[in-house]
Structure 1
Amino acid sequence: MLGAGVFVVFAPATAAAGSGTGLLIALAIAGFVAYCNATSSARLAARYPESGGTYVYGRERLGDLAGFLAGWAFVAGKTASCAAMALTIGVYLWPGQARPVAVVAVLAVTVVNLGGIAKTARATRWLVAATLTVLVAVTAVGLTTGSADASRLADTAGTTGYGVLGAAGLLFFAFAGYARIATLGEEVRDPERTIPRAVPLALGLVLLVYLALAGVTLSVLGADRLAASSAPLADVVTAAGLPALAWLVRVGAAVAVTGVLLALVAGVGRTMLAMARRRDLPGALAAVHPRRRVPHRAELLVAGVVIILVSLGDLRTAIGFSSCTVLVYYAITNAAALTLGRDDGRRLPVQPLAVLGLVGCLVLAATLPLGSVLAGLAVLGVGALTHTLIARGR
């Protein structure tokens, strides 16, 4: 979660919300919907600790079509997310050569992931530490140099309810990562205990970080300048009168987003593995390396598709499309959670949160930019048709 979202998504979200106050409200809405989704994901993951996430939950609780659409939405949306992550690395690290840098980043994280999940986790820990260092530095610079103006947080001009919901949908891109541990369920020790604790804890900590960064960024840049920025955190340091530190922030951002890309490619590969095992994708993608125990063919395919997307695509378009399809994915998660009883002895209020999460996902998806919604619906339609044809062929 501490990756491309915190470094780039505040800009398009502010443009959609229309004001600084609108951005903060949208962030709270996105965080609440993410919490509902995280609760449902954690309960389902504890019940079904295997690779695939909602693809598995949908099949088990709602039927083959729902499971397939969840897996299809996840693979499509998260592949777009991978492209957005890689392009973010390029935009921050070398703006004039963003696409070639993005391709190199994809190749590098694929090599690490092919080494096994233990190496992925170890590399991610170092990258998270670097990320937090950068975010703390930006916050300190923004608050201690006299460039922050708290009155900018109270700006409400241009705020509309529809715009705030659309901004929340875009901001959801920054939260979508809390369930990564669920998609890696087969490789988690003691999943029934670990997953329900890890998912909401990670989400809560990240929400606090986002609120702090959003407040600092808005108070330094203001809504108009933030909405037009391509590298907001670097612009915060520059506006604070320390342009020499901007490149350190850019390098730190590239390192941080590399960490997210690392985990994201792993998650998409595991979902493709689960779908291939059930013959919803070509069986060749179900291959697992005999020594490293990773779905190497699936991860190589993901890398190839992402390289094509970063060569042809656009950062903000990738964010919108990813948010739409991933919100549909989590809508199916909540629908699956609604079928869970309380026979497992847990006391979490799953049913009300699952209802709120389901409604929230559908509302936020519907208020995204029209192009993103239409593209998402088209991809889901193709998926449904593909599943129907495969089922008839069988």
Structure 2
Amino acid sequence: MTKPSITSGVPDELQRRLGVGDAVVIGLGSMIGAGIFAAMAPAAHAAGSGLLLGLALAAVVAYCNATSSARLAARYPASGGTYVYGRERLGAFWGYLAGWGFVVGKTASCAAMALTVGSYIWPGQAHAVAVAAVVALTVVNYVGVQKSAWLTRAIVTVVLAVLAAVVVAALTSGEADAERLDIGSDATFGGVLQAAGLLFFAFAGYARIATLGEEVRDPARTIPRAIPIALGITLVVYTVVAVAVLTVLDPRQLADATAPLSDAVRAAGADRLVPVVRVGAAVAALGSLLALILGVSRTTLAMARDRHLPHVLAAVHPRFKVPHRAELLVGVVVAVLAATADLRGAIGFSSFGVLAYYAIANASAWTLTPAEGRPVRIIPVVGLAGCLVLAFALPISSVISGAAVLAAGAAAYGLRRVFTARRGP
């Protein structure tokens, strides 16, 4: 079987429409929505007063992953992200395993974001609202990635405005007390590692930029610029919001909160902001869901091109220039999960799959030569080690289920190879 070119001559090529601003906004829409409204409470439960230490550790690993991914994306500007990088640098199996971990993990993450929308908009009908959100955003993605980028820009603007209001309300209230931060007083090393693994779920949005490699203009410059910009903005936002929340809620209160930012503005005496925060949370989750569906469908497209998934999914719509069959399949699967899944359980499972994905990205970046834009050697080393440590520091249920799914994917790959060899050319 002939492998498609990753730089030219690819059947059904996507159109390069996105600039640096569009790519940054798509990354922000994924990272900010997921992290602020979904991961803070479970991270506080794991680390207690070490929450900010966990955030810092997650940021270090994310920076290494972002740098490795940016260099690889500039070298291989095709849809698929680490699926492509692993295939080209380490071999077909590692590329496949990265793609499998990403598609499965991020499909679960899509369901988690959809359920977040439902729980904030209409708690009594969270699953029904989640399914409706998936259907609506699948349609948006279907009619063109440029429309998705514009919608994501609007969502990010709304979310940042809401977060700014929360920070101001918390820090200017009479209830704010810096002593509540008490960084690390009751934290354990294992708890900080687990919190970092859970918070990594929030930082992983920059992967959406790399998976759009075939749809950005001048990818060799655009992707390496967009990824660190999006990551840096997100880290600043996360840190400011976390500090503000911890000045009005102690770590135990934050760990027990089902809606941490709503509880924070209540504790600050700004009850009038609670409805605003609820709307902001729903909008943020919609932004994450939009970017996630976009990224998963592009990795599905890349794997279908190489026939690791049904080749029929490799089609690109002649008018809208999007992988429409892959997007429809992803939408259907996510809708089913959103109708049946548990919100909290999806976060750890998704983190395990994505950390495995980035471990392969860092291993791939290690093999780059200086002429190919290799990062400083310590970056992929720290990134690879950090991904493995954080993955196995997650809750044991997430480790077991994540490892089982990766093993199932590896077994499927092996069976396909055996079947192909027996069938012959």
TM value normalised by structure 1: 0.97
What's the counterpart of residue 396 of structure 2? Answer: 370
Where does residue 35 of structure 1 map in the other structure? 63
CA offsets per residue over residues 151-203 of structure 1, 9 Å max, x none?
A: 01115443110111011000000101112111010100000011111101110
Question: For residue 25 of structure 1, what is the aligned residue in structure 2?
Answer: 53
Please point out which of 280, 283, 299 is paired with 1:271. Answer: 299
Higher mean C-alpha displacement, 306-315 vs 106-115: 306-315
Q: Which residue number in structure 2 is paired with residue 256 of structure 1?
A: 284
What is the letter of the counterpart of residue 190 of structure 1?
Answer: D
| C-alpha distance in 2 between matches for 1:153 and 1:169 | 21
Choose which of 50, 59, 63 in structure 1 pairs with 2:78. Answer: 50
Task: Give 1:96 deviation, angstroms.
Answer: 2.3
Find out whether 1:312 has 2:340 as its counterpart: yes
Amino acid at match of 1:229: A
Residue by residue over 1:98-124, the C-alpha shift from the partner in whole angstroms, topping out at 9 and shown as x without a partner, is 111111111111110001111011111
Give 1:203's aligned residue. Answer: 231
Is 1:8 paired with 2:34? Answer: no
2:357 to 322, 329, 348: 329
CA distance in 1: counterparts of 2:166 and 2:232, whole angstroms: 21
Query: 2:122 is matched with which residue?
Result: 94
Deviation (angstroms), 1:348: 4.2
Matches within 5 A, 1:1-394: 1-17=31-47, 19-20=48-49, 22-154=50-182, 156-344=184-372, 346=373, 348-349=375-376, 351-394=377-420
Q: Distance in 2 between matches of 1:232 and 1:176?
A: 21
Contact 2:261 2:277 in 1 (8 A): yes
Give the equivalent residue in structure 1 for 2:13. Answer: none
Q: Verify the 8 A CA contact 1:4 1:84 in the aligned structure 2.
A: no
Q: Is the 8 A contact 2:46 2:191 kept in 1?
A: yes
Question: In structure 1, what is the Cα distance between the partners aligned to 2:184 and 2:384?
Answer: 29
Q: Any conservation in 1 of the 2:117–2:282 contact (CA below 8 Å)?
A: yes
Residue pair 2:366, 2:374 contacting (<8 A) in 1 also: no
Which moves more between the two structures, 379-388 or 297-306?
Answer: 297-306
Determine helix, strand or coil for the equivalent of 2:117: helix
**Percent identity over paired residues:** 62
Amino acid at match of 1:376: G
1:374 maps to a residue whose letter is I
Q: Deviations over 1:33-92 (max 9, x none)?
A: 000000000000000000000000000000011000000000001001101111111122
The answer as to whether partners of 2:138 and 2:293 remain within 8 angstroms in 1 is: yes
In 2, Cα distance between equivalents of 1:27 and 1:95: 29
How far apart, CA to CA, are the structure 2 residues paired with 1:282 and 1:182? Answer: 23
Of residues 228-237 and 33-42 in structure 1, the stretch that sits farther from structure 2 once superposed is 228-237
CA distance in 1, matches of 2:353, 2:374: 30
Cα offsets for 1:8-47 (capped at 9, x unmatched): 2110000011x22x10000000000000000000000000
2:365–2:374 Cα contact (<8 Å) kept: no
Please tell me the root mean square deviation across aligned C-alpha atoms, in Å: 1.1
CA contact (8 A) 2:68 2:375 kept: no
Q: Give how far 1:4 is off.
A: 2.3
**Matches of 1:86 and 1:203 in 2, distance apart?**
23
Q: Give secondary structure in 2 for the equivalent of 1:77.
A: helix
2:402 aligned partner, one-letter code: G
SS at match of 1:187: coil
Deviates more, 1:222-231 or 1:27-36: 222-231
Displaced runs of 4 or more, over 6 A: none
The one-letter code of the counterpart of 1:6 is I
* Aligned partner of residue 2 in structure 1, secondary structure: helix
Change in 2 beyond 3 A, CA 1:4/1:347: closer
Give the conservation status (yes or no) of the 8 Å contact 2:316–2:323: yes
Cα distance in 2 for residues equivalent to 1:348 and 1:285: 34
Give the Cα separation in 1 of the matches to 2:225 and 2:114.
30
Amino acid across the alignment from 1:362: L
Contact 1:42 1:179 in 2 (8 A): no
Figure out how many residues of one structure are paired with residues of the other and give that number.
390
